[in-house]
Amino acid sequence: MSKKEKETDQLITQIIIGIEDVKGQDIEILDLREIENTVCDYFIICNGTSNTQVNAIVNSVQKTVSKALKEKPWHVEGSDNSEWILMDFVHVVVHVFQKHIREFYDIEGLWGDAKSVKIETTH
């Protein structure tokens, strides 16, 4: 495993911990590495039940990643209305949706060629 792969695995692990800490739902990882012309290697998608929870998920991910790996997202957008917030960690992009917005945009369907892993949560 290369250094980049190891760092990416650690980042994904910390992102998942951050999502789970505030009970983010329906966590899914899309592996985009085998698809041509993608902007990153992985999407991590999850949803919250309200604007407040979507914001809490984003804040939790930022704190968890920062504390464990001393990293922060290169770019965050969507915080204005908190229906869909995108966090860009360069190789990994995190999409935090409200459930109805996630269903509307169907990122998983758009990236249907990607390998997908659903994360089982305990709540």
pLDDT tens digits, one per residue of 15-34: 999 999 999 999 999 999 99
**Residues present in the chain in total:** 123
Question: Does 122 score more than 80 pLDDT?
Answer: no
The whole-number pLDDT of residue 123 equals 59
DSSP letter for each residue of 6-52: HHHHHHHHHHHHHHHHTT-EEEEEEE-TTSTT-SSSEEEEEEESSHH
What confidence category does residue 97 fall into, taking pLDDT thresholds of 50, 70 and 90? Answer: very high
Domain annotation covers residue 28: yes
Q: Is residue 55 part of a domain?
A: yes
In a domain, 123, yes or no: no
pLDDT at 79 over 80: yes
For residue 25, tell me if it sits in a domain: yes
101 lies in some domain:
yes
Q: Which residue has the tokens 């990122």?
A: 107
Q: Count the neighbouring beta carbons within 10 Å of the beta carbon of residue 120.
A: 5
Residues spanned by the domain of 66: 3-117
Rounded Cα distance, 74 and 106, in Å: 24
The domain that holds 99 is classified in CATH as 3.30.460.10
Position 122 in a domain: no
Contact in structure between 94 and 14 (CB atoms under 8 Å)? no
SS3 76: strand
pTM over 0.85: yes
Count of domains in the chain? 1
How far is 46 from 26, CA to CA, in rounded Å? 5
Q: Please report whether residue 26 resides in a domain.
A: yes
